[in-house]
Amino acid sequence: MSLSRRGLLAAAAAAPLFATRGARAAAGDVIRSVPIGNLQVLDPIWTTAYITRNHAYMVWDTLFALDAANRPQPQMAEGYETSADGLTWTIRLRPGLEWHDGSTVRAADCVASIRRWGAKDGMGRALLAATDTLAPLDDHTFRLTLFRRIGFVIDALGKIDSNVPFMMPERLAQTGANTQIKEVVGSGPFRFVAGEWVPGAKVVYEKFDGYVPRSEPPSQAAGGKVVKVRRVESIYTPDAATAANGLVAGEFDLLESPPPDLVPLLRRAAGVTVEPDDPLGYQLFMLLNHLHPPFDSLDARRAVQMAVKQSDFLQATVGEGTPWRECAAAYGCTPGDDPGMQALGWPAYDPAAARALLAKSGYDGRKLVVLDPADNATLHPPALVAAQMLRDIGAAVDVQAMDWSTLIQRRASKAPADKGGWDVFITNATVTGIANPLLDIFAGQCEQAWYGWPCNRSAVDLAAEWAAETDAAKRQAIGRELERLIIADVTLIPLGQYRSLIAYRDRLSGIIPAPALFYWNVAVA
């Protein structure tokens, strides 16, 4: 056991003393939390990274939002009307919406924001591909006219996961989708304090007094976003034991991603609660780089797929006491919908056959670069499992450790691995955020491919067929066919599902279960 782990044991045993001594004088109006990573990218349209998505929910708002039953509800929108043929959608903004710079939110801002989001996001692209016109009618109303009927207009505008269609001022939303915005101005319940942002250390948000919450009770991302604290300080703390010690001692209020190996100790610490935060949980999966050898070869990709034992990855990721399940479905497994691994064509676990197939693929012994986010308590362990799995089937491996924010930048490189690119990395996604072919950016193909850049034209055609279909049963059948194709082509490699946890001091109340960590409705005793 390391000294830091021993220190946590001691802190846990003495928790009441430390909590009293470490409590802050202004505990009632400030939350100090440890985020899931280092916030370097501020633009939630430019990146899909969850650390940026969580930041964006503090600052920006959405036209619609998913409630606890995953049904879209009006948020910035006061309401909307649809024509009888389903082609015309007229959306009205609710009164009192104000940007953090004091200006009024206008329909023109929303139109520009939808266009920018739609240039980047898969569901947004599908929406705009069916759009004839999108324009403001006045400062409070805009109209979307389709040239063909689709069944996901409000679902798209209310999606909860990356890329979320956050509304921005027109002057920012006119920035190209592949260029990062230079300024953070939202209309959400908190404002970003730019002068106190220290990349790699600290991000600060303050309550936006001009925000007018909805009257409904909070329900996941929907309802009234009532801020009950003056300030949220997000303190990047890459050392897991330091973060856990700080929570036990009362220096932190909340850990957004507690280290799995320390969860048992945190559960035993006085004054600390550890619980799941997302009702459906996360899918873990592996990305292979399809552009360069060896994984431009289907045989090499299938070799890795055959060597995957999901239970090994899940146990390393979440440890003991956290629910997990094996699942091969690209769009996730839910309690009422689990097709089964065999039905999707998932291969039998066979490391010996995997070794033979990798050799047959023409693999030349080059070192495979595995990106390891060493500061990410969730994704660091499965990266090491992946590296050892590759060694076991005869691959040479170069594990390159970095922080998660650096990995986010590195994964965008299309260069060969020995010239700044990569071969393998592990990531995760909420089950809510991958529930269909338009939401699941990670399984995109060709022009809409995510990092790894797979391209199977049959999958592109099937995804387009799914988007055009309005019958739910036919949609499900197309989705299953797509999932089988994703496994056959090894677009990505699902590693199973798990429930994520948060840990927080008992003086916090009102935390909303959701795929993202929301700080509205949270009070500090």
- Rounded CA-CA distance 207/228 in Å is 8
For residues 488 and 500, what is the distance between their CA atoms, to the nearest angstrom?
Answer: 29
CATH topology of domain 61-173: Dipeptide-binding Protein; domain 1 (3.90.76)
Question: For the chain, which residues score pLDDT lower than 70?
Answer: 1-27
What residues contact residue 316 under an 8 Å CB cut-off, 6+ apart? 381, 382, 384, 385
Looking at residue 27, its pLDDT comes to 52
Instruction: Give the pLDDT score at 4.
Output: 43
What's the pLDDT tens digit per position in 191-225? Answer: 999 999 999 999 999 999 999 999 999 999 999 99
Residue for token pair 């400062």: 139
Provide the residue ranges of all domains of the chain, joining segments of one domain with +. 61-173, 282-498
**What pLDDT shows up at residue 6?**
46
Q: What is the pLDDT of residue 5?
A: 46
- Give the up-direction half-sphere exposure of residue 133: CA atoms within 13 A in the CB hemisphere: 8
Tell me: domain 282-498, CATH 3.40.50.2300, correct?
A: no
* Euclidean distance between CA atoms 465 and 447, whole angstroms: 16
At what angle are helices 240-249 and 3-13 packed, to 10 degrees? Answer: 10
Q: Determine contact, residues 477/339, Cβ cutoff 8 Å.
A: no
Q: For the stretch 424-460, what's the b/e string if a residue is b when 16 or more beta carbons lie within 10 angstroms of its beta carbon?
A: bbbbbbbbbbbbbbbbbbbbbbeebbbbbbbbbeebb
Q: Is 86 left (phi over 0), alpha (psi -120 to 50) or beta?
A: left
Q: What is the pLDDT of residues 65-102, one digit of tens each?
A: 999 999 999 999 999 999 999 999 999 999 999 999 99
Structure tokens at 62: 């959405």
pTM to 2 decimal places = 0.89
Residues 6 or more apart whose CB falls under 8 angstroms from that of 157 comprise: 62, 63, 64, 72, 114, 127, 165
Measured between alpha carbons, how far is 177 from 174 in angstroms, rounded to an integer?
Answer: 8
Per-residue buried b or exposed e for 289-315, using 16+ beta carbons within 10 Å of the residue's own CB: bbbbbbbebebbbbbbbbbbebebbbb
